[in-house]
Structure 1
Amino acid sequence: MQNYYKAYMREKQARDELEELLEEKTSKLYALNLELEKKIEILQKQQVAVVESEKMATLGTLSAGVAHEINNPLAYLTCNLDTLSEYTHDIGEYLILSLKLISKDINISEFTDEIAKLQSSISTSDLIQDVNDITDDCKEGCERISKIVANLLDFAKPKIEAIAEVEAQELIDQTTQLLENKLKQLRVTIDCESELIIKGNKSNLIQALINILVNAVQSCNSKKITDPTFIPKLTITAKQEGQTAVLEVIDNGQGIDTTIISRVFDPFYSTKPLGKGTGMGLAVVYGIISNHGGLVSIENNPDAGATVSVKIPLVN
């Protein structure tokens, strides 16, 4: 009995020591977990700040092109309004004659004679047609400017929690519209399957696609400098593979040095001259796509240029 009691006490003491050790380790693990959660929260905030900072840098890059795209419709708006201003005198003459007829200041014969005189300088039918054409042109110009500004504001406005379903075609369309001035320099082909719906932050996804396209344009422009006969081409495709949307940006530019291709997504790594790049463009792309549960990769094409592939889960 005595031996049994001693064995029981040794077992109890060992169990108590084990429980105490387990409680101590659990307490430390809990404290470390809390610290880790705080650090993750800080990193997430820092990542948002980096994306917004890169977005502001991108807005600077876009500003000249957007200004040019706004100036085009503004130019023909100004021209059309100048023409319309010249027509106001003729329109006024017709209206004055009509009022005189209505108030019986002139009879129908005098009205007909005066109208005939006006017709000798400008045809009524031509005037009506010109005013209609000018109105349609002005409306189209205003809609174009409105669309450009809306796209820019939609991109620039911070929307940290703006998670929604968005179609791949819409992402591509809005991105290419923002970069329209830069993409004019290339032969661009877009091939996108319909109804590729993904879920995420639309503004951030556009940011990622802008960064990819800007790099492709710069690669083509660099090749153009060394070869004036070079015809830059860019292909954007989007298709479904299983439960994944695959977006590819394929250019025929100068490609990427194989010795550094594994580093292109590293933060602050840049092949551009000092002051010409932040080194965060593709790092931001990697972060955005990763946050959407996707993958991004880049490889040189067998013939020329490079292909950036983005894979994002589709909405079930």
Structure 2
Amino acid sequence: MFEMNMDDFKQAYLLEKAAREEAEQLLADKSRILVALNSELEQKIADLEHHQAMFIQAEKMATLGTLCAGVAHEINNPLAYSISNVDCLKNYCNYFSELLAVCDEFACNDTDKATFCKQLTELNKVHSFRFMADDLPELISDTSQGLQRISKIVANLLDFSRPKSHDKQFADMTEAVKSAVKLLANQLRNCHLHTQYSPISQSWCNLPAISQVIVNILINAK
């Protein structure tokens, strides 16, 4: 009777062990399948995010193409008067070279005072000293402003066209509106655009994406 009970216990133990091993094997198989499915899902999500980024960038470049005609005109104005000013400064440079040579000769005692005064008088007839003294600061200032304006326009275009991170951050969303309005300044010059910015708290957002949305809205409205 005792031997029969031990045999029954041993058989029950072996059955339980076999069932446990089968369950563990089944769990391991299911785990491998879940890991494979999870890896496949992560790859699909990464592919979707990549395609989404490409689509957004393509849409951005299409918008940029719409902006180019207006931006070219906006750049042309400051570029034209900057080139004109530089040409004028080049003429002045030749004149100053001659003026400095005359001054150098007098300073080195290679010419007398009477000859020096006569040379200055002749040079003053070509370009008035007083006129140039008033004209030079204005020429340089206008040229500097024109080049800075071109630099800002190009910087805005590059900032808009450059692929951005799609990570969200705490930011003031009015900055996206200001950026869009600045970028479209020339495009909207014949439109009545009234802006009124009010202080708002920072929001968890994708600022470059919001800026692109505002640009598209303003272009469509125009």
Shift of the 22–216 alpha-carbon distance from structure 1 to 2, 3 Å rule, reads same
Aligned residue in 2 for 1:74 = 79
Normalised to the residue count of structure 1, the TM-score between the two structures is: 0.54
Of 85, 97, 106 in structure 2, the residue corresponding to residue 101 of structure 1 is 106
Describe how 1:270-285 pairs up with structure 2 within 5 A. none
Aligned residue in 2 for 1:36 = 41
Are the counterparts in 1 of residues 164 and 208 from structure 2 also a CA contact under 8 Å?
no
Normalised to the residue count of structure 2, the TM-score between the two structures is: 0.73
Aligned residue in 2 for 1:191 = 197
Describe how 1:159-174 pairs up with structure 2 within 5 A. 159-160=164-165, 168=173, 170-174=175-179
Aligned residue in 2 for 1:60 = 65
1:81 shift after superposition: 2.1
Q: Point out the structure with the larger strand share.
A: 1
Distance 2:38 2:26 in 1: 18
1:191 shift after superposition: 1.0
Q: Percent identity?
A: 36
Distance 1:59 1:192 in 2: 28
Of 128, 132, 146 in structure 2, the residue corresponding to residue 141 of structure 1 is 146
Are the counterparts in 1 of residues 180 and 214 from structure 2 also a CA contact under 8 Å?
no
Aligned residue in 2 for 1:212 = 214
Q: Give the count of matched residue pairs.
A: 215
Are the counterparts in 2 of residues 59 and 156 from structure 1 also a CA contact under 8 Å?
yes
Are the counterparts in 2 of residues 168 and 198 from structure 1 also a CA contact under 8 Å?
no
Are the counterparts in 1 of residues 179 and 211 from structure 2 also a CA contact under 8 Å?
no
Are the counterparts in 2 of residues 167 and 195 from structure 1 also a CA contact under 8 Å?
yes
Distance 1:193 1:164 in 2: 18
Which digits, 9 at most, give the CA deviation of each residue in 1:55-111, with x for residues without a partner? 221221222222222112101112212333443454344323312312334322332
Q: Point out the structure with the larger helix share.
A: 2
* Structure 1 unpaired stretches of 5+: 222-316
Task: Return the letter of the residue paired with 1:124.
Answer: F
* Structure 2 unpaired stretches of 5+: none
Task: Return the letter of the residue paired with 2:99.
Answer: Y
Are the counterparts in 1 of residues 78 and 147 from structure 2 also a CA contact under 8 Å?
yes
Are the counterparts in 2 of residues 101 and 107 from structure 1 also a CA contact under 8 Å?
yes
Please state whether the residue corresponding to 1:61 is helix, strand or coil: helix
Asked which structure has the greater CA Rg, the reply is: 2
Please state whether the residue corresponding to 2:197 is helix, strand or coil: strand
Distance 1:108 1:55 in 2: 69
Distance 1:197 1:86 in 2: 55
Aligned residue in 2 for 1:158 = 163
**Relative contact order, higher structure (CA 8 A, sep 6+):** 2
CA root-mean-square deviation: 3.8
Shift of the 210–165 alpha-carbon distance from structure 1 to 2, 3 Å rule, reads same
Please state whether the residue corresponding to 1:182 is helix, strand or coil: coil
Aligned residue in 2 for 1:257 = none
Shift of the 214–183 alpha-carbon distance from structure 1 to 2, 3 Å rule, reads farther
